[in-house]
Each structure stands twice: as C-alpha cells, then as structure tokens.
C-alpha cells in the first residue's frame, strides 16, 4: 500500500485527502490555463469558499502551488508560497505527472524543499494530469 492516491479517485475525494475542510482559507498560486478545473472546484467545495490569490494579504491555512518545469526557480516559488502560510499549514505543490508537458523532476522537489525550509511528506495523484506533493515546515522545539 502506498500513500499515492489512485487516478480513479473523484476530485471531491481528492480534496478530502488533501486535508481541506470547510472554513479553511486556501491560497492558490500559479494558476494558468492548464490547471485542473475539476480539482479547483472540488477544493472550493471542500472548503465551502473561493480560494484566495497572492494578493490576499492575510494568513492562509494551506497553499495550492501549481508549478511547471519552466516556471522558474522552484526554491523561490516555495519561499514565496510561505509568505501568508500560517504556522502548521501546508503547501500542496501541484506538478504535471511524468510524461506530461512541464513535468518537474522529483529530485528537483526533493532538493528545493529543504532549501526553502520545508519537509516533503506525501505525494498523491490528484487528477489525470497533475500530482500533488505536501510540503510542511519541520516542527521546531518550543
């Protein structure tokens, strides 16, 4: 058994697997015309609200960061995604699956996460073309 969600999972179930609940504030970064609208709707249904964008200006519980290989420096993108994230929140890095245009090498994610101060926890197939990697700030002693 792996921690990867199967391709056949409906988008609504996927939003639940991402740990998104009603009342959470979710920030979406990196949206473009290639993002998965079905997944976006499922996320908004799960949180019972619209996602906010980069101009929100307040803390958020989670960030959905759509990222493609040609989007620039992944470390910079992850650091920017941390700007509004509440302590204990998570970044879901959404990247095209292997073989799709814009695929991000898993090694690039593994290298970028710790440089940005994040730990990689889970990877899940969230749609036909996209996979999600959960990144969190490592717990530090109080």
DSSP 49-101: SPPB-TT--S-EEEEEEE--TTSS-HHHHHHHHTTTEEEEEEEEEEEEPTTST
Distance (Å, whole) CA 80 – CA 29:
9
User: What pLDDT, on the 0 to 100 scale, is given for residue 10?
Assistant: 52
Residue 11 is predicted with a pLDDT of 59
Give the 3-state secondary structure of residue 120. strand
Pick the closest to residue 74 from 28, 111, 42 (CA basis): 111
- pLDDT-derived band at 138 (thresholds 50, 70, 90) equals confident
| Mean pLDDT within 63-90 | 95
**Class at the top of the CATH hierarchy for domain 11-136:** alpha beta
Distance CA 117, CA 112 (A): 9
């Amino acid at each position: 058994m792996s921690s990867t969600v199967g391709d056949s999972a409906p988008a609504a179930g996927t939003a639940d697997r991402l740990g998104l609940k009603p009342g959470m504030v979710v920030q979406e970064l990196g949206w473009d015309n290639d993002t998965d609208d079905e997944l976006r709707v499922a996320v908004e249904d799960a949180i019972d609200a619209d996602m906010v964008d980069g101009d929100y200006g307040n803390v958020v519980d989670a960030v959905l960061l759509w990222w493609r290989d040609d989007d620039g420096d992944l470390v910079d993108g992850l650091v920017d995604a941390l700007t509004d994230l509440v302590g204990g929140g998570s970044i879901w890095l959404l990247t095209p699956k292997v073989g799709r245009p814009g695929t991000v090498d898993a090694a690039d994610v593994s290298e970028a996460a710790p440089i940005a101060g994040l730990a990689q926890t889970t990877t899940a197939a969230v749609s036909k073309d996209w996979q999600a990697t959960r990144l969190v700030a490592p717990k530090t002693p109080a």
